[in-house]
Structure 1
Amino acid sequence: MTISIDATTKSVPSTPESVPVARWVPWLFQVGNLTFWLSLYFYVPILPSYAESLGAPLGVVGAMLSAYGVTQLLLRIPTGVASDWWGRRRPVFAAGLVASAAGAVAFYIAPSPWTLVGARAITGLAACAWVGITIMYAGYFAPSESTRAIGWLNLVNATGQVVATWSGGLLAQHYGYGAPFLVSAAVAMVGLACIAFCPEPVRAARTGPPVTLDRLWKTATAPALIGVSLLSAVQNYATFSTVFGFTPVYAERLGATRADLGTLTAVSLIPFALAQPITAWLNRRYGPRNVVVIGLAMIGLTAVTTPLCETLPILLAVQVVAGGARGVVGTTLMGMAIRRVSQSERATAMGVYQAVYAIGMFSGPLIGGLVGEVSGLPMIFISTGAVALVASVVAIRVLRDA
């Protein structure tokens, strides 16, 4: 598959040399990266049930969960463009940690269900910092080592999510719903202290042509890039309407405790993380198109079978399969989005890719919540599965040149 993007929106040199830094700096940065994801995910497993405890119907729960993706859809590209134009990444990282702490506090003091929607939007704003985080960390390494650097960054990302979702459920079980939110805010402040000692790897001056709406439009509308981005949006639609959405609600109705909810999410994220190192081999062995098609089909089938799970252990087993499929599909599509894009255009392509897949992050829980209110909780999973299964068929044609 050829991705052709005719214009670039980058306004800093595309391959700047990394500045010399002490050996401990990338390690300290990774601690900051770990705290970032911990602070965003401590409360994810209990968020739907927390909203229901405040009297929120499924529609409001869906609106709350979707606010996280809406913010990223609107601000991912502007965040990346602003960071490139400014030539600095650390302020973006710092702002993300501050926003994460603010969102956690907002959840803790929320007086009503609808207040949770605003709190979740703030945490979505925090997640936009991921654009700056990836560029800043890669800048500590030579361009030839950027892929390996991002791999380690993503491993810490996944590890943080697993640890946070598991321990967050335990915190809520033993200390009440408010505990994960308070710990999230505290951990974010620890991360802020860590990155204060991490220098900017590149302090680039603004050079080259200015960013224009015409350039941004040409980049954003490249057909091949949009194709893989929309498939990724479907994957995120399924993720945020199930494991990060209504699967915890279904588990609670099976008798799951708050600690069980943390285990449920962690069980899904562990195979997601383990899928990262084997995805490249799967792509070489079977081809990226086949990996995506089969992966989306597995995501769809696990969603459809969720309402058939009558015990928590069976539900956990289904999440293992779903988590592995999501990991393989997500990594494959991300690689395809930039695989044949020139180095000078990759940041722009990735910004567009992340913005488009955010459509799934907000539409999944929003539509799922509305479907649940009209047709009941099981229909959320059946409709989500149907969307993923249709996407797997569409992928056969969209990725025909892969």
Structure 2
Amino acid sequence: MEYMNKTNKFNNRKETILFFIISLLFFVTITAFDPFISSYAKDLGFDSVIIGSIIGISGIVALLTRLPIGVFSDMLHKRRLFIQMGLLITIVMWTLAFFIPNATTLYLGKISDGLTGSTWVIYNVMFASYFGVKEAAKAVAILGVASPVGSILGTTIGAVVANSYGYRYSFLVAVAAAIIALILTFFTKDLSIKGVKVKYDKKILVEQITDKKIWVISVLATIALMVTIGTRDTFTPLVATDLGANPLLIGMLANTHLIIYGLAAGLCGALFYKKIGLMNTAILGAVLQGVIIILIPYAENLTMLFLLQAFQGFGYGLIFTVVTSWAVENIPEIKQSTRMGLFQSLYSAGMFLGPVLIGILIEVFSRSTGYLIMGALSIASTILIKTSIKRSKKEASNEEYPLEEMLMERK
């Protein structure tokens, strides 16, 4: 018996390492080209509205697919298949965009980006299955490292390739990562489908959709994401280009945001939650991000732009980590994919609204006006935080508290 337990632990450890590598490749796949899409689209002659809609189309796709993917993966218990389908779509679409570069293929590429990104909720569930229910939180924490590390790898490799060969060659980095990840998935086991004794209850979906707490939280996440995607991923690279940045520097600019975002997320639990509580952490993040976004168009050089990008990343790390914490708290395993699928679907609207809104504002008014309004939206979100979320007595005494005590019942 002891020998079998050791063997199972060893096998699970191999599965864990392999799946973590696949998760890293997943983020390389969806980020290798991100910092360069807007610059490449501008080189092709597209205006700000088209550029914004190309970047934002993945958000619409994610909005429409994340919840169904979460629900169907819970119902069918074929999670690995969904992951493989997402990777395959990426391989096909970005290969097409590389060989036939135009607005249509860029739209198709970003559509595939949204589809592939929608499968991330399944990665979380599968990875947690290698640890067991009691260590699920530990699994999520470990897998959380894959996002910043994989994204930094993706943008760095993409930047080197784009700087050497041209922007569209970063598409091939994503394709190569997806191919490797797809091959590796055939050596994984979906332990999350083993021993499933509880049949998926469709009432779970109704329960989650009618839960007003998740809607309030999702609106906050949507605002945080829309101002970030609209600036960091869409038009801030163009600000950098105007200041003389090459693809390597654009990639470094994106990585600056990612690194500081990861730092802020790590400090939330270790420092900010204990010192000022979740609500004040969220308010600090929203205000900081908003103020910095307003200042970005006025950056006089790349040094100043990098500094502003770092502060924006810190603010985003605070606000987005808090709302994600609220969304996933105390959710039974059978409901996890559906809950997270709904949450991610709702806030995916920000991935579309951000680039499109700021693109229209820039085209009609000016870049500084677009950034001003996006920054103001971030700051204004604190009103929703103050009116919809209240500190519990436990938070006031720096103790852990449940979500139900934080959200006010709205009449």
Aligned pairs (5 A) from 1:94-243: 94-204=84-194, 211-212=201-202, 215-243=204-232
Shift of 1:112: 2.2
Aligned pairs (5 A) from 1:54-73: 54-73=44-63
Q: Of 283, 292, 317, which aligns to 2:282?
A: 292
Shift of 1:217: 3.7
- How big is the alpha-carbon RMSD for the aligned residues of Structure 1 and Structure 2? 1.8
Question: How many aligned positions are there?
Answer: 383
Shift of 1:338: 2.3
Matched, 1:303 2:293: yes
Matches of 2:123 and 2:69, distance apart in 1: 11
Matches of 2:257 and 2:96, distance apart in 1: 27
Matches of 1:216 and 1:142, distance apart in 2: 24
Preserved CA contact (<8 Å) 1:62 1:368: yes
Preserved CA contact (<8 Å) 1:39 1:101: no
- Matched to 1:369, the amino acid is G
Q: What TM-score does the superposition give when structure 1 sets the normalisation length? A: 0.91
Cα offsets for 1:40-72 (capped at 9, x unmatched): 111111110111111111110011011111110
- Matched to 1:370, the amino acid is I
Matches of 2:22 and 2:198, distance apart in 1: 32
Shift of 1:343: 4.3
Preserved CA contact (<8 Å) 1:87 1:205: no
Matches of 1:147 and 1:278, distance apart in 2: 17
Relative to structure 2, which stretch is displaced further, 102-111 or 254-263?
A: 102-111
Preserved CA contact (<8 Å) 2:223 2:381: yes
Preserved CA contact (<8 Å) 1:95 1:129: no
Q: Which residue of 2 aligns with 1:12?
A: none
- Match of 2:306, SS state, is helix
Shift of 1:210: 5.5
Matches of 1:314 and 1:352, distance apart in 2: 38
Cα offsets for 1:135-188 (capped at 9, x unmatched): 100000121211111111110121011121123122111111232111211111
Preserved CA contact (<8 Å) 2:74 2:334: no
Cα offsets for 1:104-156 (capped at 9, x unmatched): 21331344224312221111111111011111000001212111111111101
Relative to structure 2, which stretch is displaced further, 329-338 or 231-240?
A: 329-338
Q: Of 5, 27, 43, which aligns to 1:37?
A: 27
Cα offsets for 1:298-331 (capped at 9, x unmatched): 1101110111211111010011111122122212
Matches of 1:182 and 1:342, distance apart in 2: 40
Preserved CA contact (<8 Å) 2:265 2:317: yes
Cα offsets for 1:329-373 (capped at 9, x unmatched): 212111111224444433322111111110111110011111111
Q: Of 272, 287, 303, which aligns to 2:261?
A: 272
Matches of 1:269 and 1:93, distance apart in 2: 24
Q: Which residue of 1 aligns with 2:343?
A: 353
Matches of 1:144 and 1:162, distance apart in 2: 31
Matched, 1:254 2:240: no
Cα offsets for 1:207-234 (capped at 9, x unmatched): 656654x653442131111111110011
Matches of 1:41 and 1:315, distance apart in 2: 21
Matched, 1:28 2:24: no
- Matched to 1:171, the amino acid is V
Shift of 1:400: 1.5
Preserved CA contact (<8 Å) 1:60 1:114: no
- Matched to 1:41, the amino acid is T
Matches of 1:314 and 1:217, distance apart in 2: 48
Preserved CA contact (<8 Å) 2:40 2:168: no
Matches of 2:140 and 2:204, distance apart in 1: 27
Q: Which residue of 2 aligns with 1:316?
A: 306
Q: What TM-score does the superposition give when structure 2 sets the normalisation length? A: 0.89
Shift of 1:101: 1.9
- Matched to 1:216, the amino acid is L
Matched, 1:337 2:327: yes
Matches of 2:212 and 2:287, distance apart in 1: 23
